[in-house]
Structure formats: C-alpha cells, structure tokens
Amino acid sequence: EMEFPDGEPPSTEIINQWLDLVEATFKDNAKQNAGNNTHDKTIAVHCVAGLGRAPVLVAIALIENGLDVINAVEHIRQSRRGAINLRQLKYLEKYQPIRKDKGKCTIM
C-alpha cells in the first residue's frame, strides 16, 4: 500500500514506490509483447473516493512519461470528473519529473 493523507500530495518515497511499480509493469508488458503475448499487466489504483490521491499518482506517471500537467489532468478528468483538488493541482503544476530519462507520452 502507498498511503498518504487525503487531499495532500504524496511524499517522495511514495512517488518513487509508485514509479518503480509503473516502470516494472511497463517493462514486463514490453517483454510479453515481444513474445506476442497479448495479455498485458495492468495497475489498479484507488483511494476512498477516487478523486484525489489515486488521480494524483496517475498524473505523476503521465508527467514522468512526458505529458504536460494540463493534458494529464484533463485526461484524468475525462474519466473522473472532479478529480484532483486545487492543492493537488498546484502541487502538480510545480512537479518536476524525477526520472528525466523517459520518453514522451502523447494522448490522441
């Protein structure tokens, strides 16, 4: 579990745990797809209401993979209206990727 207070941004430790999980899952999927295995692994992330903590972690993963903050938040809000409160949005606007060697993410 990656617990942090509701309405707050995650700690650096939580972010690193989250990004390790995301990276490991995508690497496993890449290996499976190279062998033509079409059963990708997925990550389920949720908090009590599904509007704050979980969407912030998803936004961080998108930002780490090259998506800008506005597009990341808009993408999340298409599925979860009301996701990410003002304090969390301000945090995301200041967030700087900590794993800068990643590729770019485009949502079409």
Would you call 105 a catalytic residue per the annotation?
no
- Compute the half-sphere exposure of residue 2: CA atoms within 13 Å on the CB side of its CA: 22
pLDDT at 31 over 50: yes
The boundaries of the domain holding residue 55 are 12-94
- Total domains in the chain come to 1
More confident position, 7 or 47:
7
Domain of 62, CATH number, reads 3.90.190.10
Q: What percent of the chain has pLDDT over 70?
A: 69
CB 63 within 8 A of CB 97: yes
- pLDDT attached to residue 40: 64
CA distance 89 to 63: 13
Q: What is the pTM of this model?
A: 0.75
The reply to whether 55 falls in a domain is: yes
- pLDDT attached to residue 108: 45
Q: Which of 20, 28, 47, 101 is catalytic?
A: 47
CB 95 within 8 A of CB 69: yes
